[in-house]
Amino acid sequence: MKILKNLILLVVVYLSGSQYLHANQNPVFFEKSDTIFPENYLYDGTNLEPGDTLFLMAGTRTELILKNFTGSEISPIIITNIGGLCDIDPIEGRYGISVRNSRFIKITGTGHPQYFYGIRIHDLEEAHSVGMSLEKKTSDFEIDHVEISNSDFSGIIAKSDPDASLSTSRDSFVQYNTHIHHNYIHDIRVGEGMYIGNTKYNEGMHININGNDSIIFPHYLKGVKIHDNIIARTGFDGIQVSSAIEDCQIYNNRISYDSQAESYGQMSGIILGGGSQCDCYNNRIENGLGTGILMFGLGNNKIYNNLIVNAGKGFAPDDDFKRQYGIYMSDLSLIPGNGVSYFNNTIISPRNDGIRIMSTESRNNQAKNNLIVSPGAFDEYENDNTGFTGQDSYLFLNNREVDIDTSGNFFFRYMKSVDFTRDNLDFYALSNTSCLIDAGVDLIDCSVYCDINHQARPTGFGFDVGAFESKYSNHVLFPDTTLFFDIFPNPASDILKLKYTLENESEVSIQIVDPFGKIVREVENDTQAHGTYTHEISLADINTGIYMIVVRIAGTRSTTSLLILR
């Protein structure tokens, strides 16, 4: 039967159109593959093996249940569209795709060159309907190039709630390696764009076990990467991640018009929920009704290079007691003694405060190089009898004794005071005459190596303030400073040459660093005599991508970006 299905598949691909065959001159025959056609709503993957492929034949289908897939870490089972667009219109269903009891799988909409989002799930009319759910002990999965729209509840839900079997309780199950990227989720009527992990980290869930009301705690998540997604017009939060206790990163996402249901308490662009320890960076969050970023997690994390515009500005305009912020942090699940780092965020016109820290338990907090403009609470604090001043609206601390370093921040009352580029691509980037260029404090030791556009930080002679690093330098602040090394070629493929001259014997450190702060090559770390030096650096074992060259000579540091292409 499987051989017959593969033959049918090849015939269908051949007949699917010259455009497809033109882009794939030599169609690959998958020795181990299977196909599910639009009239089928259930597929049991028990008989598939690691490395196999399940094709979702193009056409319109109702809901789809996928269960019992088991790939491997190095050979996941691939589930992808074939022959065109896999269009899922559930009509009266509760979900578009439901994945159950599966591990090591990749669902990707990249199966046809004509469609960037080759799997489309839309128009889920039933109450509490979900675009895609990953549940019932599903772990180690990747979801990409899927479009989800017009569901009643969430776009993607990824968690396995506890039940009476106790098989998914905290002591029994861990959801590993949740990887969700390059998806488009929009027009979610009530719930979140993404609902990742259980929110009951602290209090647990009430479960009836043999007639007894029991408190069962939800499972942990380890290894979460959510990046390069577009999320627009959600009822609740754009992205919610909870119970992700380690190796969690949320980055490069674009979120707009979150929290349109105006359900107070479930309103944010991104929420780092209870039990999470997530770095959150390079995200663009604009025009939502909720707070830009809520931090309710464990602490010891970084929130940096985010652009947050008009957070909560349109929410309940006639009710002064309803508040929203650029970034808000509380001790909800904070481990006492942990701190949070807020670096190089650009926050424009939040409804109330720019950054509000409501903490008594945190220590060693850092808020550095942030640019905050026109917070809505300025006039209230300045003119009403609140006990605060307008300055508190930029960075609000409920505990004035809180342990925090606030160096390098710039606050402006009015937009006209800030010298932005005003171009269509990056409206809030710095112009070449901005006083914010090179004006921040050094964050190299905090592993901040790039800006929101992956431009090397610092470019020039110091860190710029806010999410954008300018390609220009501030020669007023650093009139005699020049870049003291050359690299060539750039872009490079196999070999990079780096040249510099020492006027005196000096300590020299040269590193190649990826955008996440990981050192991928230690080129030099020694004391060198006066003279000119050239290093030939092999790049053969470094992947294609953007990296930073960090050179320290006699305590002075300079950085530039390197593009490796093959």
Name the range with the highest mean pLDDT among 245-259, 386-400, 464-478, 552-566.
245-259
Give the pLDDT confidence of 204-227 residue by residue, as tens digits: 999 999 889 999 999 999 999 999
Q: What angle do CA 255, 261, 263 make, to 5 degrees?
A: 105
342-396 pLDDT, tens per residue? 999 999 999 999 999 999 999 999 999 999 999 999 999 988 877 889 999 999 9
Q: Are strands 212-216 and 205-209 parallel, antiparallel or unpaired?
A: antiparallel
Domains of the chain and any CATH numbers: 1-152 (no CATH), 485-564 (2.60.40.1930)
Residue 28 in this model has a pLDDT that exceeds 80: no
Residue 479 has pLDDT above 60, yes or no: no
**Residue 341, SS3 per DSSP:** strand
Per DSSP, the three-state class of 54 is strand
pLDDT at residue 177 tops 60: yes
412's enclosing H/E stretch is strand 410-412
Q: Residue 314 CB: number of other CB atoms within 10 A?
A: 16
- Tell me the C-alpha distance between 67 and 69, whole Å: 6
pLDDT at 566: 75
Token couple for 279: 């770095």
Q: Is the pLDDT of residue 428 over 50?
A: yes
Q: Is the CB of residue 392 less than 8 Å from the CB of residue 486?
A: no
Structure confidence by residue, pLDDT tens digits, 304-336: 999 999 999 999 888 888 999 999 999 999 999
Which band of pLDDT confidence, cut at 50, 70 and 90, is reported for residue 21? very low
CA distance 160 to 201: 13
SS3 546: strand
Query: Side chain identity at 233, as an amino acid letter?
Result: R
**Residue 202 identity:** N
pLDDT over 70 percentage in the chain: 92
CA-CA-CA-CA torsion for 292, 298, 301, 304, nearest 10 degrees? 0
pLDDT band with cut points at 50, 70 and 90 for residue 477:
low
Question: 265: closest CA among 309, 298, 296?
Answer: 296
- Say if CB 73 and CB 104 are below 8 A apart: yes
- Read off the pLDDT of residues 66-119 as tens digits, 9 standing for 90 and up: 999 999 999 999 999 999 999 999 877 789 999 999 999 999 999 999 999 999
Checking if the pLDDT of 563 tops 60, the result is yes
Distance, in Å, from the CA atom of 50 to the CA atom of 102, rounded to the nearest integer, reads: 12
Least confident segment among 11-15, 69-73, 358-362, 562-566: 11-15
| Contact between residue 336 and residue 310 where contact means Cβ atoms under 8 Å apart | no
Q: Is the per-residue pLDDT at 286 higher than 90?
A: yes
Tell how strand 119-122 and strand 146-149 pair up: parallel
Continuous H helices in 133-231: none
Position 490 pLDDT exceeds 90: no
Cα three-residue angle 42-48-54, rounded to 5 degrees: 60
Q: Is 22 helix (H, G, I), strand (E, B) or coil?
A: helix
Phi, psi (5° rounding) for residue 7? -65, -45
Distance CA 339, CA 254 (A): 26
Tell me, what's the pLDDT at 478? Answer: 54
User: Using CA atoms, how far apart are residues 516 and 547, in angstroms rounded to an integer?
Assistant: 9
Q: What is the mean pLDDT of residues 506-515?
A: 87
Bond before 489 cis per omega within 30 degrees: yes
> Residues 6 or more apart from 7 whose CB is under 8 A from it?
none
Beta strand 77-88 with 174-181: parallel, antiparallel or unpaired? unpaired
Q: How confident is the model at residue 18 (pLDDT cuts 50, 70, 90)?
A: very low
Strand ranges for 268-392 from DSSP E: 268-272, 278-281, 284-286, 291-295, 301-304, 307-309, 327-330, 340-343, 346-348, 355-358, 365-368, 371-373
Identity at 261, one-letter amino acid code:
A
**Best CA proximity match to 367, nearest among 390, 333, 393, 344:** 344
Nearest Cα neighbor of 326 from 389, 373, 379 is 373
pTM of this prediction?
Answer: 0.85
C-alpha 416/C-alpha 410 separation (Å) is 14
What is the pLDDT averaged over residues 275-294?
97
Instruction: Tell me which of 254-258, 357-361, 461-465 is least confident.
Output: 461-465
CA-CA distance, 21 to 7, in Å (whole number)?
Answer: 17
Q: How do strand 64-67 and strand 42-44 relate by DSSP bridges?
A: parallel
**Rounded mean pLDDT, 406-424:** 87
The answer to whether 521 and 564 have CB atoms below 8 angstroms apart is no
pLDDT for res 483: 54
Q: Which two tokens stand for residue 150?
A: 């017009």
pLDDT of residue 17: 35
d(CA 29, CA 6): 8
Mean pLDDT, the chain, integer:
89
Per the model's pLDDT, the better-predicted residue between 234 and 18 turns out to be 234
Band of residue 16 on the pLDDT scale cut at 50, 70, 90: very low
Give strand pairing partners of 218. Answer: 169
Residues 6+ apart with CB under 8 A from 389: 381, 382
**Where is average pLDDT lowest: 210-224, 324-338, 425-439, 467-481?**
467-481
Spatial contact of 306 and 293, defined as CB atoms under 8 Å apart:
yes
Mapped onto helix, strand or coil, the DSSP state of residue 13 is helix
Q: Which residues pair with 328 in a beta bridge?
A: 294, 356
CA 123 to chain centre: 26
Residue (of 128, 68, 52) closest to 100 by Cα position: 68
* Paired sense of beta strands 495-502 and 531-538, if any: antiparallel
Percentage of residues in the chain with pLDDT exceeding 90? Answer: 68
* pLDDT surpassing 90 at residue 482: no
Q: For residue 450, what is the DSSP state?
A: B
pLDDT of residue 476: 57
